[in-house]
Amino acid sequence: MQNSKQKQRSRYIDSKPKQRSRSRYIEKKESVWSILRPCIITVAAVVLFTTFIARPSRVVGPSMQDTCHNGDLVILWELNYNPARGDIVVVDKDNPLHENLIKRVIGVGGDHVQVQDGTVTVNGQQLSEPYVKESKWSGSNVDLVVPEGQVFLMGDNRNNSEDSRAIGPVDSGSIMGKVVLRIFPFDAIRTF
């Protein structure tokens, strides 16, 4: 009898360290999970946000000076975006130049756009364009009605921009998003 009591007692004594180590293991597991969970949630949120709502993009080239400069980092808004006159947009490589383009929307489907002698007229109204880099600019003359589902785009640096004057209207579906914010360089942060 005494021998069985000693065995039970020794089992009881032996089981306590196992329980302690198991509880430490569970505590460590919970503390690791408490650190990983916010990181995983943050990464998932950033991926979803940049895939479906807004994404960063870098400005390449001088065609939008003085509004945007080569190397600027901008944020594009994609969610439910419909092009509107005056918006600055980025178009994907599905265009005759086969490169991403950053340009200003001058006309949308159904608009009558005329570009002649350094002036732009949309639907009979001459545009006031304080954002254009040069007061005098030249280029191809254009007189067309923008087809539905397309946009007419021009760079703000009209003398140094390959845009719809040369390549024609661009399919609205190739617009990656509207530029809503410049985040770099830091001394030039602004909204659009």
d(CA 112, CA 49): 36
29 flagged as catalytic: no
**What's phi and psi for 106, nearest 5 deg?**
-100, -40
List the one residue out of 122, 115, 119, 124 whose CA is nearest residue 134.
Answer: 119
Choose the catalytic residue: 103, 161, 172, 178. Answer: 103
The torsion angle over the Cα atoms of residues 124, 88, 110 and 133, rounded to 10 degrees, is 30
Partners of residue 175 on adjacent β-strands: 91
Q: Which residues contact 73 (CB under 8 A, 6 or more apart)?
A: 56, 57, 58, 59, 182, 183, 184
Choose the catalytic residue: 28, 57, 63, 174. Answer: 63
List the one residue out of 57, 99, 88 whose CA is nearest residue 74.
Answer: 57
d(CA 142, CA 168): 9
List the one residue out of 63, 87, 60, 82 whose CA is nearest residue 71.
Answer: 60
23 flagged as catalytic: no
Q: Catalytic site residues?
A: 63, 103
